[in-house]
Structure 1
Amino acid sequence: MARHRTHSIEFKRQIAQDYLAGETLHSLARRHDLSRNLVRIWIQKFEAGAFDDEAIAADTIEAYEARIAALERLVGRQTLEIEFLKGALSTHPEREAQLRPSSPAPRHLHRRRMPADGDRALHLLRSARG
């Protein structure tokens, strides 16, 4: 099975600098147990400025922004689901009265069970309320 290693930016930068200082591609690859093609790719990226601190920071910011956008979409989807469930509950006031006990009992005495009619939305809403 192929092994996949990850190397730090500093290591890649050092390999590229060693090559540009005059060391041969073959000796670098052999000494560090790397593919010559991988070393070539690192050299090209180094020459293009991909290993600069500003480029690394920009990539990190871009990854964070993508993650934030994904989380915002998830929050939006969950907000829509909550609003839908609230609407479903408000259209059935008799079910809402059944779900709310007339006298508040200690929380540990309430049994969790599915509603008899299988109304999944109401069950989810009740679970979400705690």
Structure 2
Amino acid sequence: MQYLTYLAQTGFLEDEKFLNYLEYLEYWRRPEYAKQLVYPNCLHVLTMLKSPQFRKDIAKAELSSVLYNDMVERWKEPLREPLKGTKEDSGAGGQEQPQSSPQIKSEDTHEVPQVSPVHGLK
């Protein structure tokens, strides 16, 4: 998050090429890509970066720290839904299965138009 603060303070987050790049990154919401994400909350950050107000506010180090701390706390929370195919999901008792990555919510994935980071929508 501190890196976003630096980018906001230098004006980079308002650069049209960067805004086009944000559109390009939307392909990560597609299920075939989203399942590869180690930190799926980055999709939420991507959504927030599309807001002009957020891009302005993230220039404040305090907001960056609050967001970072919130993310760390969320990473500590156990998953609320069992992964499909685990003992928990099949209704069998026993130990919880270790889970290597957080669940990706279906609302975080959707079809996205093809976008070039430099030229915008195709």
Same fold (TM over 0.5): no
TM (normalized to structure 2)? Answer: 0.32
TM (normalized to structure 1)? Answer: 0.31
Greater Rg, structure 1 or structure 2?
1
